[in-house]
Chains A and B, each alone.
Chain A
Amino acid sequence: MQAELIARAKALLADGTVARVLGWRKGDTDFNAEPAVFETAESLDEFVYDGFCGANLSKYMIKNSKLEGKTLVFLKPCDTYSFNQLIKENRINRDNTYIIAVGCYGKLDINKIKAAGNKAILSVAEEGATLKIHTAYGDAEMAREEAVLDRCKVCKGGKHVVYDELASFVDEEKPAAEGRFDEVKKLEAMKPEERFAFWQGELSRCIRCNACRNVCPACSCIKCIFDNNNYDAAQKVNTSSFEEQMFHIIRAWHVAGRCTDCGECSRVCPENIPLHLLNRKFISDINEFYGEFQAGEDTTSRAPLTNFTTDDVEPSIVKERG
């Protein structure tokens, strides 16, 4: 499938349809491919598309779609939602974009492979449902299933909501996984003090590196209020536990109704804080209060928080539902 994508990209570059290609470049190991822009056919030889290409490229299109000429971008099913949402918010120039929809069978998480006890990994090979892991301390195998990112376990399905052409290996029919809100429900079922303890434990690890924010396609503000001294809220570190909460509550609230649940925030968190749960809680609330809503499904509908009906639930619902 990688060869197919390279061939298409080269063809589109050659016939002048696109001026550049946004994809992934091989890393110096099997598992650290990076998002990259390719402008020549030769450079595309470094292009890679495999299980470790988890990064969502849609946010890079804010920058790239402003450039002269079209940009070819490869989007996985879940990335297309982010892309659509950015179109809705006028952040991306769709006309300047050429999208090849690529299939996805769940992206791999190197941390899970490491957590399974593999140290000093020299290579990882995907062979069907099995991963062959070669390390300095010996070789190992593990089921691919066990090494996929958490977000892929609750995959939204194989459908691409926006694209110009589909790659051959795309499975648009791939069903959505069940249980997307299970973790949220589990927390909801806890007592408030348990929930508080849980989040204290998690958020206390936050080092305020802003990776979650900077990777988030919805957090694409020209300047974040947490960086802006005009707002009286700028912070560079979490000097107290309040600031951890403040940052993550406001961040999640700002993207509520706009977050497509792409899961990048949790993927990039160096401290493994399950940040996606905050976003997913908002999604689950919005679904419950205002009807099912999937951000990025289209480019025109009003986001739930910039919309209303006259008979919306009252805030007291939070108290009433126990």
Chain B
Amino acid sequence: MSMNNSEWKPKIVAFCCNWCSYAGADLAGSSRLAYPADVKIIRVPCSCRVNPMFILRAFQKGADGVILCGCHPGDCHYSTGNYYARRRMTTLFSMLDFLGVEKNRTHVEWVSAAEGVKFSATMNKFIEQVRELGPNVRLEDIRCKQN
């Protein structure tokens, strides 16, 4: 690809729990708090629904960054879901780091339904981080690259 880095737009997948973060994203929207269109949100009932498989799959299919947002610890709609998600993601991210995948490609942020500002700020910051890293090559599946 002959794109230079300034034109390059990262693909970001955001998994948001239905009760807090997805609502936070909606609030960011109704408050018109902009963040780049590179982020696409997938709604899941709870952060604990997110299987590490989904995250790897996103990278395989061409994502450059994956972010998981859930309710603040203690505020989970299902009381304990995000605690499990927290352990799962901590161990997974540590493993990705161990395999040499850039740490800044993955992120977890707790965003409540009232935190539209935080949602938008989080996305802006995350995209910036991923932009600095450039395209994902360490976890890519070359078959999925469009020529």
Contacts and interface: CB of A to CB of B under 8 A. Distances in A.
A and B touch in the complex (CB under 8 A): yes
Interface of A: 184, 187-188, 192-199, 225, 231, 233, 239-243, 245-246, 249-250, 252-253, 256, 278, 281-282, 285-286, 289-290, 304-310, 312-319
Given A282-B91, A312-B73, A317-B94, 4 more contacts: A242-B142, A245-B99, A315-B93, A318-B90
Contacts of B83: 308-310, 312
Interface of B: 52-53, 56-57, 59-60, 73-74, 80, 83-84, 86-104, 106-108, 138-143
Nearest to B98: A281
Nearest to B86: A312
B88 A249 contact: no
3 nearest CB pairs, A to B: A196-B100, A308-B83, A195-B100
B88 A250 contact: no
**Most interface-central of B57, B86, B99 (chain A CB within 10 A):** B99
Nearest to B103: A319
Contact of A239 (B86, B97, B139, B143): B143
B108 A250 contact: no
Contacts of A310: 73-74, 83
7 contacts: A192-B101, A198-B100, A199-B100, A242-B140, A305-B88, A305-B91, A306-B84
By secondary structure, the B interface counts as: helix
A290 B107 CA distance: 20
Nearest to A200: B100
Contact of A192 (B95, B97, B108): B97
Nearest to A257: B91
Contacts of A304: 87
Contact of A278 (B88, B95, B97): B95
Contacts of A307: 87
A253 B102 CA distance: 18
Contacts of A194: 100
A147 B100 CA distance: 31
Nearest to B138: A196
B141 A243 contact: yes
A318 B93 contact: yes
Contact of A318 (B59, B74, B103, B141): B103
Contacts of A239: 143
Contact of B86 (A188, A245, A308): A308
A225 B96 CA distance: 20
A313 B99 CA distance: 21
Contacts of B143: 239-240
A196 B90 contact: no
